[in-house]
Amino acid sequence: MAGVNFWTSPNRDPKRAYRFLVDLSAFDGGATWYAKSATRPKFSVSNTEHKYINHTFNYPGRVTWETVTITIVDPVDPNAARKAAEILKAAGYNIPGSETDTVSTINKAQATAALGSVVITQIGENDNDVLEKWTLQNSWVESITFSELTYDTDDLSTIELTIRYDWAKLEAFDSNGTPHAFFTTTGGDSAT
């Protein structure tokens, strides 16, 4: 890329924060049209210190993927608040009833099935121009926050979902549309 100035070339365009799609398969229609914001996956690597005489040596440890937060608008139809409650129930949660009611607890298999797939896609000038795609693996809803109701504003009602997952698969696309997969389980972690 020597000799090409990024800022003066009309053919070079930075990724834009407002060009994204969110697909939540648990919500009717995938929720792509009413996603308001989404954080991209991020991870951290722990550190282990080893002290020897007058020195400290650092070694990388385990990778921890941090939660993703997705905020969606709560439409009347399909009712996203209703769908959020259905996800919690499908994960295995039942409110206390009588002693003859079936007792169940939330488990990972039901929680991941209840949420379904979660894909965050950053796009270019149109939705066919995919720049990067994050697919959360074994994801489940850790918390749901419903927006405040107040007479002080005419904002749209929103629902904030905090999603926990084991890892995220990243597909990054170059300017020719060629995909490069990272953090995949086929053939080990690789960039192709």
Collapsing DSSP to helix, strand or coil, 121 comes out as strand
Look at residue 145 and tell me whether its pLDDT is greater than 60: yes
Environment class of 37 (CB within 10 Å of its CB; exposed 0-12, middle 13-18, buried 19+) = middle
- Break the chain into its structural domains and give their ranges: 14-182
Q: What is the pLDDT of residue 11?
A: 64
Structure confidence at residue 79 as a pLDDT band (50, 70, 90): confident
Q: What is the pLDDT of residue 62?
A: 94
Q: What is the pLDDT of residue 167?
A: 95
User: How would CATH label the architecture of 14-182?
Assistant: Roll (2.30)
Look at residue 2 and tell me whether its pLDDT is greater than 70: no
Look at residue 7 and tell me whether its pLDDT is greater than 60: yes
Q: What does the block give as tokens for 52?
A: 């020897």
- Is 180 in contact with 172 (CB distance < 8 Å)? yes
Look at residue 192 and tell me whether its pLDDT is greater than 50: no
Structure confidence at residue 70 as a pLDDT band (50, 70, 90): very high
pLDDT digits (tens, 9 = 90+) for 36-56: 999 999 999 999 999 999 999
pLDDT digits (tens, 9 = 90+) for 91-127: 998 888 777 777 788 999 999 999 999 999 998 887 6
Per residue in 58-96, is it b (16+ CB within 10 Å) or e — as a string? Answer: eeeeeeebeebebbbbbbeeeebeebbeebeebbeeeee
CA Rg value for the chain: 21
Look at residue 89 and tell me whether its pLDDT is greater than 80: yes
Looking at every residue in the chain, the average pLDDT score rounds to 86
Q: Is the pLDDT higher at 137 or at 8?
A: 137
pLDDT digits (tens, 9 = 90+) for 169-189: 999 888 777 888 887 765 444
Look at residue 3 and tell me whether its pLDDT is greater than 80: no
Look at residue 17 and tell me whether its pLDDT is greater than 60: yes
Amino acid at 141: V
